[in-house]
Amino acid sequence: MYRYVTDLIENGSEQKFINNFEMIVNNYKQVLINPQVIPIIVKHNLFFNNLKLFECLNDIRFVFLLLNRIYKYDSKYVISNLFSMLKFFDYETFYYYFIKFCEDKNIDIKEVLNYINDNKIMLNNNELLETLKEDFAYKYLNDYLDIFINNSASLLDLKKLFEKYSFYNDKLELLLQKMDSNPNLIGNEIINKVVSLDKIKGDIIVDFINIIIKELLEYGNLDYHNIRYLNEGAFSTAYQIGDKVLKMGIRRETFNLRNCKYFLQPLYRAEIMDKDNADFLFTIEITEYVDTTNIGYENTYQMYKKLRDEGFVWTDCKEANIGRLLKDNKVYFDGIDKVDNNSTGYINDNEEVLKAGELVVIDNDYVFEEEEFFKNRNLYDDPPSDYFYEFEERYQREKRKTK
């Protein structure tokens, strides 16, 4: 392939090179950085006219390697077309290389922001903010907050950034007002994290989730700007709404599970299907908010041990999956203190209620019945946590000593 392409160039067959450009990119992209090829790419605008093709390469490092070669050949050509890339690439690695490129070439980031705003380019997941971290936040976020408000695909992410850096300025009120005055925008943002809105457009599921969010806000006497984006794990994304946590995510490894006093008790836990009840859409769970700080190694082992004594195997044992109860381990919502098990996915009641201050498992996606687990070790598709084998060995060793 390399010889074929270079023969085209050396024989002056530019048109054949142009006609076969897609094939060349897909099959032998390295030939594009050949010094003989760069002038042809520039002359026929092959790079910027084929950005969608380069996006499919899934190799941003190469894209910017080529861009740097083109820049060395004709910097004015690159500068005049550079920002058009922002319309095609919208993921974090692209923004990382894009900003580095701009910094190396002394291109003012303010120009990037203005282009984003003028062309109404949505910043999915705030890649630009995440890429530039603290330096960018302090330099530009305050002065250009209105641009981020107008173009951010996630207002909750943007608010979390302000909380992270303890920012405050007069424009922050614009962000909070937009969140409160566009409740469906916030609801759609939360849903869109787990399932494409295009897939469920017009479905009652959208109204259902928005009603849940509204009820949780009313229960806590809160506004939409009080919703806090907590984190995104392997299975779900979590939001704090007052003293409740709303989790939404993909299908769990274990959903129907024997109840246990060491599990954080849910107000609601369900697998949501599409309107035809044919395809799984997402899992939703509502629990009490718990304290997840200061959970240590020994706390984690002792929880592993307690679950093993209860007949469970917990393969995703780690500090991040444990919380300290701020209230007794039961449901608190409009005076309800008992929830129908059919709405939780748990089998039987949790007869013993742990008190505030006790530790519980807040993410039991990888908790299995002992007998079932050892009969079918393939239940767990992903590698176990770093602690799993160590904890299991320690547990068996302690068990042998007690005999």
Report the pLDDT value the prediction gives residue 168, as an integer from 0 to 100: 61
- Continuous H helices in 271-347: 297-309
- The 10s digit of each residue's pLDDT in 153-201 is 888 888 887 777 666 666 778 888 999 998 888 888 888 888 777 777 7
Q: How confident is the model over 387-402, as a mean pLDDT? A: 92
Percent of the chain as helix, strand, coil, to the nearest 5: 50, 15, 35
% of the chain at pLDDT higher than 70: 82
- Give the CB-side neighbour count of residue 317, counting CA atoms within 13 A: 25
For the segment 210-230, the average pLDDT, to the nearest whole number, is: 91
Residue type, 130: E
Asked if residue 266 has pLDDT above 90, the reply is no
pLDDT at 15: 83
Give the pLDDT mean for 382-394: 87
pLDDT of residue 338: 46
Task: With beta carbons less than 8 A apart as the criterion, state whether 391 and 304 touch.
Answer: yes
> What is the C-alpha separation between 257 and 261, in angstroms, rounded?
12
pLDDT classification of 321: cutoffs 50, 70, 90: very high
Q: Please give the pLDDT value at position 294.
A: 94
pLDDT of residue 335: 42
- The mean per-residue pLDDT over the stretch 277-290 comes to 85
pLDDT classification of 336: cutoffs 50, 70, 90: very low
Q: How far does Cα 116 stand from its chain's mean position?
A: 22
Q: pLDDT class for 139, splitting at 50, 70, 90?
A: low
pLDDT confidence band for 206 (50 / 70 / 90)? confident
pLDDT at 263 over 90: yes
Which of the pair, 71 or 200, is modelled with greater confidence?
71
For position 307, what pLDDT does the model report? 96
* Residue 221 CB-density burial (10 A; 0-12 exposed, 13-18 middle, 19+ buried): exposed
Look at residue 136 and tell me whether its pLDDT is greater than 90: no
Give the distance from CA 22 to its chain's centroid: 32
Higher pLDDT: 81 or 10? It is: 81
Token look-up 């008190």 returns: 355
Average pLDDT over residues 5-9: 66
Residue 42 scores a pLDDT above 70? yes
- pLDDT for residue 83 is more than 90: yes
CA 320 to chain centre: 16
Distances (CA, A) of 118 to 113, 143, 198, 215: 9, 16, 26, 37
Helix 172-181 vs helix 183-192: crossing angle, to nearest 10: 90
Residue 47 pLDDT exceeds 70: yes
Q: Is the pTM of this model over 0.85?
A: no
- Residue 192, token pair as written in the block: 């869109």
Q: Is the pLDDT of residue 384 over 70?
A: yes
d(CA 393, CA 403): 16
Mean pLDDT of all residues belonging to the chain: 83
